[in-house]
C-alpha cells in the first residue's frame, strides 16, 4: 500500500477552547462489532461506527471473507454474517493499511478456519512485530509464515479443527487476548487466556452479548477468560459509544489552554479504558462527568473539562494497560505541568504505529521541553502552566496519535509547531480538525 503524500501543518495557539463536541465512535468497539456481526447468522445493525480508515479496513476484510456489510444513508451499518466456521477464502490479500488491531484480531479469526489469508499493510504497519500473536496461534495449530522479524506481509494457513490452549499473556495486550479468544470461537473445547494485568475487556463484553459461552474469573494468577467453541453467535443491534482515546486530546487541550471550558459528549467510560482520566485528575485536571448512563452495555457520560493548573505526578504503572494509547498526549499534559512527571510501565509503546516513547521525546525536546527517556516511558519537566517554546518541525512517523498529540502541544506553544504529516489522523479520527475548528471558533 502506498501512503498518501505528506500533509504538513503549522499549528499555532488559538486561544481558549469552548463549546461542546461529540467524538467519533470507539475504535476498539467498532472493529469488534464488525467482526462479531460478520460471524453471527442473521442481520446485525451498528449505530455510531467509527468510519476511519482502520475500521474500514476491517469491513473490507470481512466482506472479502463472505460477510455482507453495507452503510445506509442514515449512517447505520447493516451486517449479514456468515456464521462461525463460515468464513470464505478471500480472492486476494487482505490489505490492513495502518491497522494493527484489524491485523492481529483477524489473524486469530482466520487461524481456526480452513482458509489461507495473506495480510499486507502500509510502511508503518509493516514495521510492527506480530510475533506475540503468532506464538499462541501457532500453538493452536495455525501455520503462519511471516516476513523477517515476524512482520508483514505474512500468510496465515488456518486449521480446522484447531487445538484449544491455555495461554498466559507475557505482556498485557488486549489485541493478543482477543486474537486467541477469536480463534477459540471455532475451536472445539475450551480456550483459556490468563492475563496477569487486566486489559480492555470489549471483546469479553461483546462476545457475551452475541451469545458466546464465555466466563471471566478473578484469581491469584490474574483474570482467567475462557471461551467455549464451536460457538453460535446471534445477531445484535449495537450502539458504539464515543472513543475515550479520541476524547483524550480534548481533555488535555482544554486542561492546558487558559480560559477553556468544553463538554465532550457521549464518551465511553469502560473501567479498562479510562486511565487517562484518572491520571489527569491526579494531576489536578478539572473533569466532571455529566449524565452518566449505559449504552450498548458500556458505561458512558458527557465530560466537562475546564482549564486547570496541572501538577507533576508519578503515573502509577498499573494504569498503563488502561491508557496505553493515551501516553503520547499525557506526555503533552506533563509538558505543561509544574514539576517533573514520571510515566513508566509502558513497554508496549515501543511497538505501536511508531516507537511512541522516542518519537515523543524527540518532538517535545525540539519544542523546548526537558525530557528523559526510559525503556518503558519518560520523565518530563513541565513549564508550570506557561507556554512551551515550540518553533520546531516535528515528525509524526506515520502515527495518528503522535500527530494529534503534537497538535495539542501547538495550542499551548509560544511559536508555531510544524507537523511534517497529518494525513495519518484519518486512520482513527477523520473529523479531528473540524472538531478543533469548532472548539476554537475557527469553523464556519
Catalytic residue IDs: 325
Chain centroid to CA 343: how far? Answer: 19
Do residues 176 and 100 touch, judged by C-beta distance below 8 A? no
The residue behind cell 482549564 is: 307
d(CA 257, CA 261): 9
d(CA 321, CA 200): 7
Helix (H) or strand (E) holding 273: none
Do residues 4 and 53 touch, judged by C-beta distance below 8 A? no
The answer to whether the annotation marks 397 as part of a ligand binding site is no
Q: Three-state SS for 60?
A: helix
Beta strand pairing status for 370-374 and 377-381? antiparallel
The answer to whether the annotation marks 177 as part of a ligand binding site is no
The answer to whether the annotation marks 173 as part of a ligand binding site is yes
d(CA 200, CA 323): 9
**Alpha-carbon torsion, ordered 27, 28, 33, 36, to 10 deg:** 150
d(CA 15, CA 412): 9
The answer to whether the annotation marks 350 as part of a ligand binding site is no
The answer to whether the annotation marks 325 as part of a ligand binding site is yes
Tell me the H-state helices in 93-173: 100-111, 131-139
The answer to whether the annotation marks 128 as part of a ligand binding site is yes
The answer to whether the annotation marks 151 as part of a ligand binding site is no
The answer to whether the annotation marks 306 as part of a ligand binding site is no
First CA to last CA across the chain, in angstroms? Answer: 35
The answer to whether the annotation marks 27 as part of a ligand binding site is yes
Report the binding-site residues for phosphoenolpyruvate.
27, 100, 128, 175, 356, 401
Binding residues for 3-phosphoshikimate: 27-28, 32, 173, 175, 325, 352
- Which residues belong to the annotated binding site? 27-28, 32, 100, 128, 173, 175, 325, 352, 356, 401
Amino acid at each position: 500500500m502506498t501512503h498518501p503524500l505528506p500533509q504538513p501543518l503549522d499549528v499555532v495557539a488559538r486561544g481558549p477552547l469552548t463549546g461542546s463536541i461529540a467524538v467519533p465512535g470507539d475504535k476498539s468497539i467498532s472493529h469488534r462489532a464488525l467482526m462479531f456481526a460478520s460471524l453471527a447468522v442473521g442481520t446485525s445493525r451498528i449505530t455510531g461506527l467509527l468510519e476511519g480508515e482502520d475500521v474500514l479496513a476491517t469491513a473490507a476484510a470481512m466482506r472479502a471473507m463472505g460477510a455482507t456489510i453495507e452503510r445506509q444513508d442514515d449512517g447505520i451499518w447493516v451486517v449479514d454474517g456468515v456464521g462461525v466456521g463460515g468464513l470464505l477464502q478471500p480472492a486476494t490479500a487482505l490489505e490492513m493499511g495502518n491497522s494493527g488491531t484489524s491485523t492481529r484480531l483477524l489473524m486469530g479469526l482466520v487461524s481456526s478456519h480452513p482458509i489461507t489469508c495473506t495480510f499486507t499493510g502500509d510502511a508503518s504497519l509493516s514495521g510492527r512485530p506480530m510475533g506475540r500473536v503468532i506464538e499462541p496461534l501457532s500453538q493452536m495449530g495455525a501455520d503462519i509464515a511471516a516476513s523477517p522479524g515476524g512482520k508483514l506481509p505474512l500468510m496465515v494457513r488456518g486449521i480446522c479443527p484447531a487445538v484449544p490452549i491455555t495461554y498466559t499473556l507475557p505482556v498485557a495486550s488486549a489485541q493478543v487476548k482477543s486474537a486467541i479468544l477469536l480463534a477459540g470461537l471455532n475451536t472445539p473445547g475450551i480456550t483459556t487466556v490468563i492475563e496477569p494485568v487486566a486489559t480492555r475487556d470489549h471483546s469479553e463484553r461483546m462476545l457475551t452479548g452475541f451469545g458466546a459461552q464465555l466466563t471471566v474469573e478473578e484469581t491469584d494468577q490474574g483474570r482467567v477468560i475462557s471461551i467455549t467453541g464451536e460457538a453460535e453467535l446471534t445477531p445484535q443491534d449495537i450502539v458504539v459509544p464515543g472513543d475515550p482515546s479520541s476524547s483524550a486530546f480534548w481533555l488535555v487541550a482544554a486542561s492546558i489552554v487558559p480560559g477553556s471550558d468544553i463538554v465532550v459528549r457521549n464518551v465511553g467510560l469502560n473501567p479498562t479504558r479510562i486511565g487517562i482520566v484518572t491520571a489527569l485528575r491526579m494531576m489536578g485536571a478539572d473533569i466532571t462527568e455529566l449524565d452518566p448512563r449505559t449504552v450498548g452495555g458500556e458505561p458512558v457520560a458527557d465530560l466537562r473539562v475546564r482549564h486547570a493548573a496541572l501538577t507533576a505526578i508519578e503515573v502509577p504503572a498499573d494504569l498503563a494497560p488502561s491508557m496505553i494509547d493515551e501516553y503520547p498526549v499525557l506526555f503533552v499534559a506533563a509538558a505543561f505541568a509544574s514539576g517533573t512527571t514520571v510515566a513508566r510501565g509502558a513497554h508496549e509503546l515501543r511497538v505501536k504505529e511508531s516507537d511512541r516513547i522516542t518519537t515523543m521525546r524527540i518532538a517535545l525536546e525540539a519544542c523546548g521541553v526537558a525530557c528523559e527517556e526510559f525503556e518503558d516511558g519518560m520523565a518530563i519537566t513541565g513549564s508550570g502552566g506557561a507556554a512551551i517554546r515550540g518553533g520546531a518541525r516535528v515528525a509524526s512517523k506515520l502515527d495518528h496519535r503522535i500527530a494529534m498529540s503534537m497538535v495539542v502541544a501547538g495550542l499551548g506553544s509560544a511559536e508555531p509547531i510544524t507537523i511534517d504529516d497529518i494525513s495519518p489522523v484519518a486512520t482513527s479520527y477523520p473529523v479531528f480538525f473540524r472538531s478543533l475548528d469548532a472548539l476554537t471558533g475557527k469553523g464556519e
